[in-house]
A and B are shown apart, each in its own frame.
Chain A
Amino acid sequence: MPEFSLIIVLVIALALIFDFTNGFHDTANAMATPIATGAMKPKVAVGVAAILNLVGAFLSTEVARTVSGGIIKEGNGGILITPELIFAGLIGAIVWNLVTWLMGLPSSSSHALFGGLIGATIIGVGTQAVDYNVVAAKVILPALIAPLIAGGVALVATRLAYMITRRDVGKPDGRGGFRYAQIFSSSLVALAHGTNDAQKTMGVITLTLIAGGFQAVGSGPTFWVIAACALAIAIGTYTGGWRIIRTMGTGLTEIKPAQGFAAETSTAATILASSHLGFALSTTQVASGSVIGSGLGRRGSTIRWGMAGRIALGWVMTLPASAIMGAFAAGLALLGPVGIVLDMVIGTIVIMALFRWSRRNRVTHHTLLNDIDDAGRVVNIKKTPRRPTRRGRGDRRKVSL
């Protein structure tokens, strides 16, 4: 079946592209706060996250085995999902991931993937193919509860950290020491992310291979699938979604080392507890909730609720928006080979357009560092010239302890 193989190759390529977007979308979860507090250099931080994601992807294949998790009733007596539909779902997920990245919104990549697949399935097979109870129990409810749990935990943790290290006014409290701790806590989050998220793509590819008859039903991912997915997510992570890192690190609240450590620890604890006691929570939502919680926990800090609201809106939109795009792509894909080609062309054009749009105001780790200068440029304020210091480059040596 040569034409059947072609669609499978396309699905695998798209799945790897999705894995890449997943990586750079989620770098912020682990690394936004250590970058924001200066615990690690931005490039070092994303490098560490990339390596831990790569390692993490090889550590476990459990999630991959249960990826579709019954949301779409597939196989044995149910309705078999075709590679064409997975293809369409992936297009929806990738496009939505890029849109949210462009807006700098930390949104769940898994929800984008599920949304895309659900949309494609509704068009391709019918509304009865989607198990809405499972969608509610496994996707929508955890999405509401994850930020609440993580936020509460981070609030308590931040309060504790400040309470224990509190000293009389004027006496040094040594809170800069939390910067060392942040390195470890954020690495833990990155590792946990690697074991979870690369799996989803492995699961999709394996599902496709099984559907195409290349692999036995019920078998796990083969080595080359694991290696390819691990590499894709690591490269994506290293590319660094600087827009989202900026939102998480500086857009929600001003993060100090103690808060950063409390937030990362809460994220790690919540993710580990949830994945070991029953259900998986979205890393992105847990991490965002933790950052807000740590902002609430420190006296005198402010939270930009407008930004928090935008992020929450992004979460609500993720499932339906990627479902609509997945459905649209599926509608075309069902026309046959012409539709697939059309899908490819439209998808490429949209992705190119999004990238071109992103070039207008680039966000890299450089722009991340001088946010204030950037803001000055936008409102066109004439900057007062820096006063020359005695030591020449002396003004570069700014210190915060």
Chain B
Amino acid sequence: MEWEPKIVAFFCNWCTYGAADLAGVSRLQYPPNIRVVRLPCSGRISPKFILAALRNGADGIWVSGCHPGDCHYIEGNFYARRKFELINNLLAFMGLEPGRLHFSWISSAESTKFAATAQKVTDAVRALGPAKRMVKVPVFESIPV
């Protein structure tokens, strides 16, 4: 079977997860490469989740929350935004290809934007091929027998 990118997504419950639900209600079609981890708020997302996903073999990461100013928890996404900026810089410094890590702000009404972003993220990750840089390879596999 042909290689398909695996994308781990972290969505806040109130906005982007709602948009994904609405995309379903509207029967918008997008590629089935995304595996969603639902979180209460983008502010809950720790940079280590992103590192863990990459280490685990995710080819791409997509993080999405409420629009700045619309956070259900008043200001969680502002803090999230700062963290993303840092982790983005860090991963770029570490040599991760730009295009593996995506951030977006999608409100619960923006189902079309959600589907379009899902397509865009998948296309971008697919174009990069399988992720290798940060994937943890078990020791016994790396030793020639």
Task: Tell whether A and B belong to one assembly.
Answer: no
